[in-house]
Amino acid sequence: MNILITGATSGIGFELGCNLLKRGHFVYFTSHREDEVLGVEKKLKEMDQNDNYRCLPLDITKEKDRKKIKSLEIDCLFCNGAMGLGGSLFDLSMSQIRENFEVNVFSNLTLVKTYLEDCFQKEKFARVVITTSMAGLMPVPFMDSYSATKASLISFATTLYYEQKIFSLPYSIKIIEPGIYKTGFNEFMFTTVENSKYFSSEKFRNLELKIFQLISKKSNRSIVKKMVRSVESTSNCFLYRAPISQKIFLKLYLLLFK
């Protein structure tokens, strides 16, 4: 199977690609910057991976880059690219929030739409997997915008899933909802939070960061395993979550507060 992964520079996106390579798939590792692409190529060569891959720049916010996928043989589109943004509504400018939605929601949806329409035209079955987040269902304080973008993706993907079931459309769509992993992504979002002009929140943010550091899973193995399964499985399973401890906590949260 040929799989294109956005946001495959590092973290779970890169690990997913490496695992798929080992399982005999062809993988497109993509990133939005040329220098990052060169870095991925270097890492793969140092790891002595097989040559069943291609690294290329793909900025999902640019139409000319999104159109590149039409010329590629893709059996599964894995939308893993995202922009982290920390801060409450009071800390962020509306331009920052718009940019966050542009990257995480609109650009990803446009890429999915482009891929699906191209597959429909070619009469080819399409597979789509979208990385969302448990934060989309259990919003995190001082990650207002990021949580909202992930909630939007969950909602869009869910409606696409139901539409496929109702009309038996020639595609499969699945979502991944990772919990908190020690990839550096969540820590980066905390560094983007500036001191609020409206209320004192530094102590709470520091406490929240300590909690994140305490519960963060050091190994990405559990979520990467789910991601590989989402690509390879032919079942109708729509949702994949990990790690199991945070999955249980989320279920309790939804039961008590939703």
Strand partners, 76: 3, 127
- How confident is the model over 219-244, as a mean pLDDT? 94
pLDDT tens-place string over residues 52-78: 999 999 999 999 999 999 999 999 999
Looking at every residue in the chain, the average pLDDT score rounds to 90
The backbone torsions φ and ψ at residue 16, rounded to the nearest 5 degrees and listed phi first, read -60, -50
Q: Where is pLDDT greater, at 100 or 199?
A: 100
246 in helix, strand or coil? Answer: helix
Within 10 Å of residue 148's Cβ, how many Cβ atoms? Answer: 18
Q: How far apart are CA 25 and CA 15, in angstroms?
A: 14
Residue 169, pLDDT score: 96
**pLDDT (mean) for 5-13:** 94
Share of residues in the chain with pLDDT > 90 (%): 67
**Entry pTM:** 0.91
Model confidence at 49, pLDDT cuts 50, 70, 90, reads: confident
Q: Given this model, what pLDDT does residue 181 score? A: 80
Write down the pLDDT at residue 206.
72
Give the per-residue pLDDT at 245. 84
Q: 47 vs 229, which has greater pLDDT? A: 229
Q: What is the structure's pLDDT at 9?
A: 92
How confident is the model at residue 51, as a pLDDT? Answer: 87
CA distance 190 to 81: 19
Query: Is the pLDDT at 50 greater than 90, yes or no?
Result: no
Per-residue pLDDT for 36 more than 70? Answer: yes
**Top-confidence residue, 88 or 61:** 61
Average pLDDT over residues 195-199: 55
Q: Is 199's pLDDT higher than 70? A: no
Given a cut of 60, is residue 198 above it in pLDDT?
no
- pLDDT tens, 105-163? 999 999 999 999 999 999 999 999 999 999 999 988 888 999 999 999 999 999 999 99
DSSP β-bridge partners for residue 79: 130
Q: Which two tokens stand for residue 174?
A: 């699945």
Beta bridge partners of residue 26, listed in sequence order: 2
Q: How many CA atoms lie within 13 A of 78 on its CB side?
A: 30
Q: What is the pLDDT of residue 165?
A: 96
Structural domains for the chain: 2-257 (3.40.50.720)
